[in-house]
Structure 1
Amino acid sequence: MIGPANHGVGSWPARRARISPHRTALVQGDRTLTYAGLAHRADRLAAALTRLGVRRGDRVAYLGVNDITVFETLFATALCGAIFVPLNHRLSGTEIAYMLADSGASLLVHSADADSLVAAAGPLPPVLRTADFDTVAGDEPPGAEVTFDDPCLLLYTSGTTGKPKAAVLTHGNLTWNTVNQLAHFDVLSTDRALCIAPLFHCVGLGQITLPTLFKGGSVEPVAKFDPGAILARIGEAGITGFAAVPTMLQMMCQDPAWDTADLSSLTCVLYGGSPVQERVARAWLDRGVRLLQGYGMTEASPGVSMATHDGTLDHPVSAGVPHFFTDVAALRAEQVVPLGTEPAELLVRGPNVFAGYWNRPQETRDSFVDGSWFRTGDVVRVNDGWAHVVDRIKDVIISGGENVYPAEVEAVIVQLDEVESCAVVGVPDERWGEVGAAYVVARTDLDPGVLREHLEANLARFKVPKHLFFVDSLPRNATGKVRRVELRAMAAAAVGR
């Protein structure tokens, strides 16, 4: 993977091993793996997978925290011509069982931290523990031929509504996403990146991590996110970059170690997955960190657009400009038209856009317009060439015939220093059809009257939430996205709908 068609001995990471064999590819704790070492271990594990019955097109699932063994399994699976399926280790046994059955995994690889979860998952395919890699390793890698069009990865969507479905990402999708990233920002062979976003998520794998390995830099996977520990590690190891979700950035800049942390080695920090509060972005920019917001989705491997270093200060929360090999457009009145200042659904096409949803042909067809444009479901507007994600189409509240974008309301709420975070959802209303319900996490005491007064001073009356709820925390999934389905159910129950 990550390169032209793989033909056994010429495959990645063997190609990189020939270019820079003695450079460090992966480091974690006391363990260091060079590119030559990574290629050797991937070959031996691929031989073992073949002996265990893995064949071309089979799915090899992985369950466990970020670890060097994730990369060994990924590359070994690709050498077999099989498909890697990283699973969310924060899910329940029932949810893991669903994904194993849905993907039809022929083998489950897991680390020790997932032992109890594996036990709770019920009927399983054959299992291989990462602790047994050296025991089962073989000597003859399979040398399967792999082309750009062959599936490489199944990534399950976050599943904020209904059952999650798997996006099929090809070797070409991952390669072109890497090229797009490298066209947008610089990565050097001397870079040292942290991998703190989970590797079962597109941000963890596609942003910073694979581009750094492509260029011959070093990646350090982090098993558990701890904001203080990450801040300390940046200075200790001379970390040059990492990719994160906004919740991580917020937790780090609120950590007691923030003001004294040495961030001088950072050359690029990417974030995406959900909107970030402007004050959080400004906190990083004020420390001199070159912070870039990327916009994307699992189905785009994940990059669609990204901010640029030249424009971030003037557009701190913009999703930036399209990647080099990615086309964007808008869907308006069922017509494909150029993006403009008026909000419209974003369409995307390009070699990084996925092959479809696993075993869901109708959903795959429904997700495209004119055969090639993927419907993102996100409402976007463009000002001065820079994209701003307004909201998800399914999250738009229609109140009295007017469109209310929750993200716009949320941005006004978090302007108050007393507010930690918030989320706005729609709830049925007899008079208006639907009205807003705001869930607010306050960092200090906040008078509801003060909040409502602030909203009425900054928003049209129909945009002001009818219902205000103060809560200790918001329900979130593993990547920090708010689980709005739960909030809608809570709001409906609270107002008797």
Structure 2
Amino acid sequence: MRNAGLGSWPHRRARMAPKREAFSYDGVSTTYEEVAVRTTKLARRLEELGVRPGDRVSYLGANHPSFAETMFATHQLGAIFVPLNFRLSPAEINYQLADCGARVLIHAPSHQVEHERAISLDSYEDWLAGGSEEPLDVPVTIDEPALILYTSGTTGRPKGAVLSHANLLWNTFNLMIGVDVTTDDIALVAAPLFHVAALTQTLLPTFIKGGHSVITPRWDVDECLNLIEGYGVTWMFGVSTMYADLAASPRWPTADLSALRVLLCGGASVPDAVIHTYQERGLVFCQGYGLTETAPGATFLEAADSVRKAGSAGTPVFFTDVRLADTGEIEVQGPNVTPGYWNDPVATAAAFTEDGWFRTGDIGRLDDGHLYVVDRLKDMFISGGENVYPAEVENAITDHPDVAEVAVVGVPDERWGEVGRAFVRPRAGAAVDAAGLREFLLPRLAKYKIPVHVEVVTELPRTGSGKVLKPALRRLPLAPAVSPENAPGR
């Protein structure tokens, strides 16, 4: 095969184990042989729509086998796959579609997006059935772009992090060195696949080993417990909120978790109490640290150290190096690190040191070679595993005609880890109320970005140079949320 990228994976795996189950969804299983045929037919269909090497194909929708099929088919053509966050508002989605220049959009019928070449999943099967099974062999090198994953920008505009086929391949190697993934493994894919971790830390390693991925469209505790018990799930990835929900279920003490070997967690630090809850049931709970730009694994806490170093993000993964700058900022270098941002040379240059290390914007400390993430240089906070950048939220809030200025910070939240707290100064003679502001933001921002706490102030604390003192705002006592029912939607 001249295709050295991910597009060749279905055919390479099918010739080794054609009848092995690749995916299960809603009780229906698909073999590797079937995946290979379906991705070829889909690639031919995309080709008919004008998709050529280097073009972008976007996907918008909840977890579904068609996500993986679209990705592999896109890569068969040497094109670039752009998964979109289905939690975003239409305005945010339209910006990303325009920024990447998507030639084709495949989307769930629940998302009505205007695009000249849009294929809805409610007609997907009939459309796919008309595709030719004639094999393709488009030349693709591993250094070519494979994915564009949008991360909210600190300047208020999302940036498209480019990941090459090589980035994804090396991340897969790193993961499989840290976790003993086998052909008999059954992975639960419940975290959103548009997130780099669910895709590259779970689905891709399972696929390349010939394992079985059980895909569910959303995180539902009872349904996931049913899938874990029914399929004998052996490993899964989740964020802190997901694992806390699972342990809080009334079914937790009696649920059959005997097949589970490894639980991977990322996105934010996990409270020690949650870690110990899992350890008490004999479950290996492994945290890691990384970013979209590192595909994402930078460090990993292997099973042998999961008790002794609980709370640590682990040591650098095998083929990747991590160091701390004089400021304590975590910097990463390795073949899994992004080559840069889509059509954004300024952001790309700013993201790397002069000697080529990626600046994470996070502050860490090292103890016995293990990394602990302790703070952030950037203002970004994580709510339920989702990155939220205050600058983006502030930009949306200041569009309100009655708002003079605003500062947004992340504050602790028992349910989501962190949520937004907005300090709003109204224009002279105007009034701003929390409920009205949230209504204003709903069509402009994803729900998880909308601040739970909104406080109207007459002034904001500032430095001598006029910058808002966000550390001072974070230290202010937290009043109960005005409308707790408006907590971030999931």
TM-score (norm 1): 0.78
Contact 1:424–1:437 under 8 Å retained in 2: no
Q: Secondary structure at the match of 1:270?
A: strand
Q: Secondary structure at the match of 2:194?
A: coil
> Shift in Å at residue 315 of structure 1?
2.0
For residue 308 of structure 2, the aligned residue among 303, 306, 314 is 314
Q: Distance in 2 between matches of 1:222 and 1:381?
A: 36
Q: Secondary structure at the match of 2:59?
A: strand
For residue 265 of structure 2, the aligned residue among 260, 271, 285 is 271
Match of 1:126 in 2: 117
Match of 1:154 in 2: 148
Q: Distance in 2 between matches of 1:101 and 1:349?
A: 31
> Shift in Å at residue 476 of structure 1?
4.9
1:240-255 to 2 correspondences below 5 Å: 240-255=234-249
> Shift in Å at residue 126 of structure 1?
0.6
> Shift in Å at residue 111 of structure 1?
2.7
For residue 385 of structure 1, the aligned residue among 369, 380, 395 is 369
> Shift in Å at residue 262 of structure 1?
1.1
Return the letter of the residue paired with 2:96.
M
Q: Secondary structure at the match of 2:161?
A: strand
Match of 2:214 in 1: 220
Deviation string for 1:256-282 (max 9, x for gaps)? 221221111101110101122111121
Q: Does 1:258 align with 2:268?
A: no
Q: Secondary structure at the match of 2:303?
A: coil
Q: Distance in 2 between matches of 1:279 and 1:96?
A: 37
Shift of the 426–223 alpha-carbon distance from structure 1 to 2, 3 Å rule, reads closer
Q: Does 1:467 align with 2:477?
A: yes
RMSD: 2.7
Match of 2:232 in 1: 238
Match of 2:88 in 1: 91
Larger relative contact order (CA 8 Å, sep ≥ 6): 2
Match of 1:295 in 2: 289
Shift of the 58–9 alpha-carbon distance from structure 1 to 2, 3 Å rule, reads closer
Q: Does 1:185 align with 2:179?
A: yes
Shift of the 425–92 alpha-carbon distance from structure 1 to 2, 3 Å rule, reads closer
Q: Secondary structure at the match of 1:328?
A: strand
Contact 2:7–2:72 under 8 Å retained in 1: no
Shift of the 423–223 alpha-carbon distance from structure 1 to 2, 3 Å rule, reads closer
Matched pairs, number: 418
Return the letter of the residue paired with 1:126.
R
> Shift in Å at residue 253 of structure 1?
1.0
Match of 1:484 in 2: none
For residue 347 of structure 2, the aligned residue among 363, 367, 379 is 363
> Shift in Å at residue 228 of structure 1?
1.8
Q: Distance in 2 between matches of 1:382 and 1:73?
A: 41
Shift of the 233–30 alpha-carbon distance from structure 1 to 2, 3 Å rule, reads closer
Shift of the 285–161 alpha-carbon distance from structure 1 to 2, 3 Å rule, reads farther
Q: Distance in 1 between matches of 2:335 and 2:479?
A: 44
Shift of the 45–10 alpha-carbon distance from structure 1 to 2, 3 Å rule, reads closer
For residue 376 of structure 1, the aligned residue among 360, 367, 372 is 360
Contact 1:50–1:142 under 8 Å retained in 2: no
Deviation string for 1:301-348 (max 9, x for gaps)? 010001111111122211011100001112226xxxxxxxxxx00110
Deviation string for 1:221-273 (max 9, x for gaps)? 11021012212221121000111111111111112221221111101110101
Contact 1:437–1:469 under 8 Å retained in 2: no
> Shift in Å at residue 420 of structure 1?
8.3
Shift of the 356–9 alpha-carbon distance from structure 1 to 2, 3 Å rule, reads closer
1:470-485 to 2 correspondences below 5 Å: 470-471=480-481, 472=484, 476=488
Q: Distance in 1 between matches of 2:472 and 2:231?
A: 46
Return the letter of the residue paired with 1:389.
V
Shift of the 330–242 alpha-carbon distance from structure 1 to 2, 3 Å rule, reads same
Deviation string for 1:177-228 (max 9, x for gaps)? 0000001110110011111110110111011221111111000111021012
Q: Where does the alignment leave 5 or more consecutive residues of structure 1 unmatched?
A: 334-343, 398-405, 439-464, 479-497
